[in-house]
Amino acid sequence: MLLSSLKDLAKLKNGRTWVFTTSRPHAQDIHREFDDPSIITRVDISAREADVAMFVKQQLENDDDLLELIAADGEPGYGPSLLDRIICSTARQASGMFLLAALQVEHIRASASIRDVNDALTSMPTGLSDMPLTVDELGHALVAEEAGEATPLPRQLDATALVKDKFIVNVCAGLVAVEPMSKRVRLVHATAMEYLDQLGDRHFALAEERITRACLAYLSFDEFANGPSPSDDSMERRLENFPFLQYAAKWWGWHLQKTRSLHLQEMALMLLKNHRSSISISQASHLPSFRFHNYSQLYPKNVNALHVAAQFGLDEFAKSVLADGNADLDSEDSFG
């Protein structure tokens, strides 16, 4: 009703009537009402990355405890300073949204140690909803999900099972689209996201189990059992060949946390018993959002299954690790 009235007002030809309307996230409602291009000019408003960086810097400077913690990180040769890394990473991932930057700063403020800050930088919220996968990541995830149902698990990615981008879009019946620049797969309508947020658990009751299975199957490939990438160049090649790696390494534990599957816990335990696989996963899960010299080598080494259980808050998984009888309760990773 209000939009219709504003539309009529905007059509007045007296040359004096200007209507300024803003909308987030339902801009399509305004587009639908003001469908005459002669009476509407659309301007997309977002903050510059430099503005967000300034905002983040000011927020950090107002937190004495966090500044004291950051100042304690004086290890030479560690690339950019921790403060610079926080500012750059947060500003880049905020995608021009001050609200998201504020949420990310709050996420970092919960840190009690330098290690917690580093972990927070690799697990910051990357959107007001979860960051969507690229079409390549999604394609590999679909292959991995199918592979996760096989016994024994396949040791390599079956490239012949990858589907074309067009198929992924078509099978979703027009509900998703692939962004031309980022190649990320997004829901076309915000209302679809709201619907899935509210009723997704009812329609996709096994979603978390299937995603966890896909992540674990993917991380079980021989490529990662060969150990971590020894250089930035080799890491880039690995990410190019295995685009689902970073998501799987970073989020498998959070998905497992939402399931009660003993089978998936056993899969995870078997995977992490392979020390070289564990280190590969640790490396991929700690990759920063921006690149600098030696960025791929700044991750905790000597990681074991108990460390991972603590990181993701996997109580039942931790019990399984302890019951296995091989856990070293005094073991520390290279971050302490």
Residue 222: the pLDDT is 94
Taking only the tens place, the pLDDT of each residue in 206-216 is 889 999 999 99
Taking only the tens place, the pLDDT of each residue in 186-199 is 776 656 666 677 76
Judge contact between 109 and 66, C-beta under 8 A.
yes
Residue 2: the pLDDT is 59
Determine the Cα–Cα distance for residues 108 and 112; give it in Å rounded to an integer: 9
pLDDT grade, residue 230 (50/70/90)? very high
Residue 238: the pLDDT is 96
Q: What is the pTM of this model?
A: 0.62
Among 200-204, 248-252, 272-276, where is mean pLDDT lowest? Answer: 200-204
Judge contact between 304 and 271, C-beta under 8 A.
no
Residue 314: the pLDDT is 80
Judge contact between 140 and 148, C-beta under 8 A.
no
Alpha-carbon torsion, ordered 150, 156, 161, 166, to 10 deg:
120
Tell me the pLDDT of the chain averaged across its residues. Answer: 78
pLDDT grade, residue 78 (50/70/90)? very low
Does the CA dihedral 257-191-245-286 come out positive or negative?
Answer: negative
Residue with tokens 């009690």: 112
pLDDT grade, residue 231 (50/70/90)? very high
Taking only the tens place, the pLDDT of each residue in 85-123 is 888 888 877 767 776 677 678 778 777 788 878 777 776
Average pLDDT over every residue of 65-83: 67
Judge contact between 256 and 317, C-beta under 8 A.
yes
Average pLDDT over every residue of 70-83: 62
Residue with tokens 């791929």: 296
The answer on pLDDT for 248 being more than 90 is: yes
Specify the higher pLDDT residue, 203 or 221.
221
Residues sharing a CB contact under 8 Å with residue 155, sequence separation 6 or more, in sequence order? 220, 221, 222
Among 52-61, 62-71, 183-192, where is mean pLDDT lowest? Answer: 183-192
